[in-house]
Amino acid sequence: MNFRIGYGYDVHQLAEGEEFWLGGIKLDYHKGGVGHSDADVLIHVICDALLGAANLRDIGFHFSDQDAQYKGIDSKILLERTVALLREKGYEIGNLDVTVGLQKPKINPLIPEMKTVLAKVMKISEEDLSLKATTTEKLGFVGREEGVDAHAVVLIYKVEHQGDLDQ
């Protein structure tokens, strides 16, 4: 079986009056992500890790922030398209491990809902998606509540068809 690992990292500035989308759900908070799309850093980092694992470049290559069609787009659509690109190349998702760095608001109570939403979009089991949150103990741009960051590691594998095994 052909296994591949991908890694993603993303950052979005937080600003007053912006909507805060994270993990496919809207958070009730006075600050939100700044970006061309809905600025969902958690989904963006998953897209980057998946694309990287399949050697398909990155999210900016496929969904440019210079392209008006992606202005304000729901990042769940970007994730759905990313997974479709992966499957077109014959890959399936093994598992994902994602960490969000955010001082406030506390998102641990929202993680089960995020997992449900994201697993449905990717058409995978929630058991294959690990979401975690951490603060930076008030250090750096995350600690000063100026931004949010996220890291993701993914494992994908090439689907072997029965005909491939017979040759």
pLDDT in tens, 136-156: 999 999 999 999 999 999 999
pTM, two decimal places = 0.93
Please indicate if the annotation marks 67 as binding a ligand. yes
Please indicate if the annotation marks 12 as binding a ligand. yes
CATH numbers and ranges of domains, the chain: 3-166 (3.30.1330.50)
Please indicate if the annotation marks 63 as binding a ligand. yes
pLDDT-derived band at 167 (thresholds 50, 70, 90) equals very low
Q: How far apart are CA 143 and CA 13, in angstroms?
A: 12
Please indicate if the annotation marks 143 as binding a ligand. no
Please indicate if the annotation marks 141 as binding a ligand. yes
Please indicate if the annotation marks 136 as binding a ligand. yes
Q: What share of the chain is helix, strand, coil (3-state, %, to 5)?
A: 35, 30, 30
Please indicate if the annotation marks 74 as binding a ligand. no
| Residue 163 confidence (pLDDT) | 60
pLDDT-derived band at 59 (thresholds 50, 70, 90) equals confident
Write out pLDDT tens, residues 85-137: 999 999 999 999 999 999 999 999 999 999 999 999 999 999 999 999 999 99
Angle at which helices 41-53 and 75-88 cross, to 10°: 10
Please indicate if the annotation marks 4 as binding a ligand. no
| Residue 129 confidence (pLDDT) | 98
For the residues 5-32, what does the mean pLDDT come to?
Answer: 97
Percent share of the chain, pLDDT over 70: 96
On whether the CB atoms of residues 150 and 99 are closer than 8 A, the answer is yes
pLDDT-derived band at 29 (thresholds 50, 70, 90) equals very high
Average predicted confidence (pLDDT) for the chain: 93
Please indicate if the annotation marks 37 as binding a ligand. yes
Give me the half-sphere count of Cα atoms (radius 13 Å) on the Cβ side of residue 66.
3
Please indicate if the annotation marks 135 as binding a ligand. yes
